Structure 1
Amino acid sequence: MKRKVLVTGGAGYIGSHAVRQLGEAGYDVVVYDNLSTGSVEAVLHGNLIVGDLNDIQTLETVFSQHKFDAVLHFAASISVPESVANPLAYYANNTRNTLNLLHCCQKFGVNKLVFSSTAAVYGEPQENPVSEACATEPINPYGRSKLMSECMIRDYGLSSDFKYVILRYFNVAGADLAGRIGQSSPKASHLIRMACDAALGLRPAVSIFGTDFDTPDGTGIRDYIHVEDLAAAHIDALRYLEADGDSQIFNCGYGQGYSVCEVINELKKISSIDFHVVEAERREGDPACVIACGDRLRQILGWQPRYNDLSIILSTAFTWEMKKLQKSQSLELFKEQLERQHYQLISSNN
């Protein structure tokens, strides 16, 4: 009999890649998503139920109709600036809704959870690479909402036979290598998305926030992990729990960093577009370098990344962004935009 799993947020960016891999691995998948940032088209396997985690009645109905072996919980709000502007919404969607999910797990006897957390729980880490033993001192409501969720999960595990794996993401990027799914949320604002938008003429420039960091080229360094490798870590975590593994917390990163300039220059090479770059002041709270120590993920789960290469991360991201643009506009309009951008760049350089 197929093992049945519930995937919350499975129509979103990371969740949809995990759903596809779960389906390919033979799992019976039920996706629960409110489609606020996800899309129906991204769900390539399983059954999609449109619902919100704050709708306890619908959530309990789903649990009662399916005997889940495990839950993978991706659903969350993830924008740091948005969390600062509207913290209560983040505590509601991230923390309270995780509590709703845990209540359902308890009520219906589901005792395995893989939880999507974030490196934001560390705040401004005092050591680098960042290990799971580093102090958790988040500096924004997003990080605090996730850390509160972690605390609830751990406390519930201590009081019962409930087992969990908490995965703390660093910088997720890239897309399905076959071009089927990728980052679709219009709210996404990370460097690679902004740089792709600049290359495709969807924004006038990409900004570098700080060029005077204590790094080789003066720009911030981050650990980027390909979304396919991150999704695979979730499958590994699920199999680990199915094999009666103890509850664990893991960092998800390669242990290798790339600077903002390295990312931009590599994307210019991949896209063959010399898009405009603007230097800006540092943003408050941005550390010079954040790199994950992912040793425990490899050692305990046996995780073996396949796409630890900046060019693969960027090429898959750029290909996906091009595909989205071509889908939303006619091919002729797409070509006109690129030609206009090239002309503007040439004119500005003369």
Structure 2
Amino acid sequence: MTWLVTGGAGYIGAHVVRAFAADGIDVVVIDDLSSGKTDFLVDGVPFVEANLLDTDVVRKTLDGVTGVVHLAGYKYAGVSVEKPMHTYTQNVTAMVSLLDAMAGTGVRNIVFSSSAGVYGTPTDEIVTEQTQPDPQSPYGETKLVGEWLLRDQAKAVPLNHTSLRYFNVVGSGDPKVYDASPYNLFPIVCNMLTQGKIPQIYGTDHPTPDGTSIKDYLHVADLARAHVAAARALESGKTLEPVYNLGSGTGTSVRQIMDAARRVTGIDFTPTEGPRRPGDPSRVVASGELAARDLEWKNTYTVDEMFASAWESWPS
């Protein structure tokens, strides 16, 4: 049993590789290092530096592989509005190339790293798999198209698949691997605190208990384990749902994140406050009931534990 992890040198991919290895599953990594880091790679895990658009290289890499975890792609939703063609090329055209290579080599199992970005700004109190997708960025659209590609390809060739939709991935399961995104809350807060600056809250007038927006935060190690569970289920022949939400059902507010940062770091600060950013939803929380039922998955980290792991791994 060997699985190919696309994007395995990235923040999430590196954790998925480690989770597979911890579960005794052999892994091969393919990554073009456009955002991944060689420092995140695991010693002894075969690594191929290539873009998925190179179908011939992907086909060769799939030799001896029984399944794929597909994480590679352009992941910046906001910037995707400015770079729609780049986003579609890296997220859709590249996935077509991957699926073509899989069909040509007889690889029949794939776990797709989708996104809660397919929902846009849902109005449901709790987002479920039945919530109507309404992506509001090219990034979200490409993730939904990726799910459609799997659906349609499975009608044409033997293909066992499932897609995992998740919201805000945080923390670290390995001190050597950290989230370096300049757009995510945890690394923004860590970066500002290490520079002696005060983090800011955007929007304190939301209709929530403390006035700040509530989102679903998922520890990256929990996310990685979900990919392993899905891979093992597909490998065993179990029929899975086409999509699963990975969510807490409750969510965490921005102010609660700031409070956790204060407790964990011991830095006594009061965040500055600014106006809401355009389009920032007041509450986006998902149910993880289906994933709990079929993948035995759940959120296992508290907000303090999430931030503590992010802080420990943050490069100083």
Q: TM-score interval w.r.t. the shorter chain?
A: over 0.9
Deviation at residue 35 of structure 1 after TM alignment: 1.0
Deviation at residue 305 of structure 1 after TM alignment: 3.8
Q: How does 1:112-131 map to 2 (within 5 A)?
A: 112-131=109-128
Q: How does 1:1-350 map to 2 (within 5 A)?
A: 3-44=1-42, 46-63=45-62, 66-176=63-173, 178-183=174-179, 185=180, 187-201=181-195, 204-248=197-241, 249-275=243-269, 277-307=271-301, 309-321=302-314, 324-325=315-316
Segment of structure 1 superposing worse, 272-281 or 292-301: 272-281
Q: What one-letter code is carried by the residue in structure 2 that aligns with 1:137? A: D
Q: Deviations over 1:161-196 (max 9, x none)?
A: 2011100011110001x523222x3x4321111111
With over 3 angstroms needed to count, the CA separation of the structure-2 counterparts of 1:108 and 1:33, relative to structure 1, is: same
Deviation at residue 265 of structure 1 after TM alignment: 1.4
Deviation at residue 231 of structure 1 after TM alignment: 0.2
Deviation at residue 266 of structure 1 after TM alignment: 1.2
Q: What one-letter code is carried by the residue in structure 2 that aligns with 1:125? A: P
CA distance in 2, matches of 1:67, 1:268: 48
CA distance in 1, matches of 2:25, 2:165: 24
Query: Does the residue aligned with 1:154 lie in a helix, a strand or coil?
Result: helix
CA distance in 1, matches of 2:107, 2:21: 20
Query: Does the residue aligned with 2:86 lie in a helix, a strand or coil?
Result: helix
Q: Deviations over 1:297-333 (max 9, x none)?
A: 00011224432x1011000001111xx11xxxxxxxx
Q: What one-letter code is carried by the residue in structure 2 that aligns with 1:34? A: D
CA distance in 2, matches of 1:158, 1:252: 26
Deviation at residue 128 of structure 1 after TM alignment: 1.9
Q: Deviations over 1:192-245 (max 9, x none)?
A: 11111111117x332322111100111100111110000000000001101212
CA distance in 1, matches of 2:306, 2:100: 38
CA distance in 2, matches of 1:205, 1:152: 44
Asked if the contact 1:20/1:43 (under 8 Å) is kept, the reply is no
Segment of structure 1 superposing worse, 41-50 or 94-103: 41-50
Asked if the contact 2:240/2:294 (under 8 Å) is kept, the reply is no
Segment of structure 1 superposing worse, 188-197 or 213-222: 188-197
Deviation at residue 60 of structure 1 after TM alignment: 2.3
Q: If the length of structure 2 is used for normalisation, what is the TM-score?
A: 0.95
Asked if the contact 1:223/1:256 (under 8 Å) is kept, the reply is yes
Gaps of 5+ in 2: none
Deviation at residue 275 of structure 1 after TM alignment: 4.2
CA distance in 2, matches of 1:91, 1:205: 36
With over 3 angstroms needed to count, the CA separation of the structure-2 counterparts of 1:194 and 1:275, relative to structure 1, is: farther
Q: What one-letter code is carried by the residue in structure 2 that aligns with 1:46? A: V
Asked if the contact 2:87/2:139 (under 8 Å) is kept, the reply is yes
Deviation at residue 21 of structure 1 after TM alignment: 1.3
CA distance in 1, matches of 2:292, 2:240: 16
Q: How many residues align?
A: 314
Segment of structure 1 superposing worse, 272-281 or 86-95: 272-281
CA distance in 1, matches of 2:158, 2:53: 25
